Structure 1
Amino acid sequence: MDRFVILSGCSGGGKSTLLEALKRRGHHVVEEPGRRIVIEELEGDGSALPWVDAPAFARRAIAMSLADREEAAKISGTVFFDRGLIDAASALEHLMGKPALTTLGRLHRYNRHVFLTPPWPEIYVGDHERRHDFSAAVAEYERLGLAYPALGYEVHVLPKVGVEERADFVLSVLGHG
């Protein structure tokens, strides 16, 4: 859907901060499925965690991303997603070797412009929900950097600048600024 815009890229690269800036500017946003799943699983003694059962985590992220799209379809205007279906399908395909990405990626489209946060070690921080190291984040970024163009998306690597400048960049590319 053309009004659904993906912010993806390197874990710890500033996606959530950018999403907050876009929200402050009045745009609709959808928070990252992975973080929401980790919080739910930790609160309920679940095992669909990336460091416990990564395939179950990826499958749950796919389901949540599909539900997020359904909810976002009820909203008018541009909706910015912190990650989404393609990220989750790419992870599942990487883990299981099953071609989830191509099928899901072609059935459920987003705006052709995708914004990737590059690896940025100076701002990368692990926490209770982000337990992987920087090298795993970079490997994920590299996979996504191949996945999105393979599905026909135009990738824009976000500059390593302040969050307001990043928001201006995104909105300018989309013709909103």
Structure 2
Amino acid sequence: MKNKRILITGGPGSGKSSVIKKLESNGHCCLHEVSREVTAEAQKQGIDQLFLEDPFLFSFKLLEARINQHHESKSSSENHIFIDRGIPDVLAYMDYFGTEYPSTFSKACTLYKYEKVFLLPPWKEIYVNDNERYETFEQAKVIHSYLEKTYLGFGYEPIEVPKGSINKRCDFILNNLDA
């Protein structure tokens, strides 16, 4: 099957973006996390932190961007497209924050599917806060549980990626694409 969408997800600071960057540097087709782009676009419009000022609008824009990534992945000639976070992540975060959302959000999760989901667990030793990451490590662990519950709820069987070097994590993912 061509265009297998392989999702890399997990709580904040679990190493997703590092894994995606390594896969990309090794020649794999990768689509990067879009939340920082959504934040930067809002800042250009004078909204310092859209996530904090209007969480629903932020989530809606993330949903749109992730749906666009899904469409973009269909036009690729690559067999595997690795994606940093997916559409169900939006719902998991909204559930975590207790934000209500319309059924169109859930519908998007059933319309736009991924062929494989890899879940990176919380890892205190690599967790770092930065300008866009406000969560504590304890909150990251709770978010991880919301992500796992959300993906399971949409019928996925997330494969947990063991802690280890970026190379070992990438090898694990590549070796389990057809598992």
Structure 2, unmatched stretches of 5+, are: none
Three-state SS of the structure 1 residue aligned to 2:126 is coil
Distance 1:153 1:54, change over 3 A: same
Distance 1:80 1:65, change over 3 A: same
Quote the Cα distance in structure 2 between the aligned partners of 1:148 and 1:80: 17
Three-state SS of the structure 1 residue aligned to 2:158 is strand
Quote the Cα distance in structure 2 between the aligned partners of 1:92 and 1:131: 15
Quote the Cα distance in structure 2 between the aligned partners of 1:47 and 1:138: 26
Quote the Cα distance in structure 2 between the aligned partners of 1:40 and 1:137: 25
1:147 alignment counterpart: 150
TM-score, length of structure 2 as denominator length: 0.88
Quote the Cα distance in structure 2 between the aligned partners of 1:147 and 1:100: 15
Say whether 1:54 aligns with 2:58.
no
2:16 alignment counterpart: 15
Residue 10 of structure 1 deviates from its aligned partner by: 1.2
Q: Is the 8 A contact 1:19 1:29 kept in 2?
A: yes
The one-letter amino acid of 1:107's match is L
Q: Is the 8 A contact 2:3 2:81 kept in 1?
A: no
Aligned length: 175
Say whether 1:96 aligns with 2:100.
yes
1:106 alignment counterpart: 110
Structure 1, residues 86-141: CA drift from partner, whole Å, max 9, x if none? 11133345411544553221111111x21111111111111111122222222211
**Greater CA deviation, 132-141 or 9-18?**
132-141
**Greater CA deviation, 121-130 or 131-140?**
131-140
Quote the Cα distance in structure 2 between the aligned partners of 1:48 and 1:63: 18
2:39 alignment counterpart: 38
Quote the Cα distance in structure 2 between the aligned partners of 1:122 and 1:15: 14
Percent of aligned pairs sharing the same letter:
29
Say whether 1:118 aligns with 2:128.
no
Quote the Cα distance in structure 2 between the aligned partners of 1:76 and 1:97: 34
Quote the Cα distance in structure 1 between the aligned partners of 2:111 and 2:13: 28
The one-letter amino acid of 1:82's match is D
Residue 37 of structure 1 deviates from its aligned partner by: 1.3
TM-score, length of structure 1 as denominator length: 0.89
Distance 1:121 1:47, change over 3 A: same
Residue 42 of structure 1 deviates from its aligned partner by: 2.9
Quote the Cα distance in structure 1 between the aligned partners of 2:105 and 2:81: 22
Q: Is the 8 A contact 1:66 1:85 kept in 2?
A: yes
The one-letter amino acid of 1:102's match is S
The one-letter amino acid of 2:87's match is L
Structure 1, unmatched stretches of 5+, are: none
2:140 alignment counterpart: 137
**Greater CA deviation, 49-58 or 1-10?**
1-10
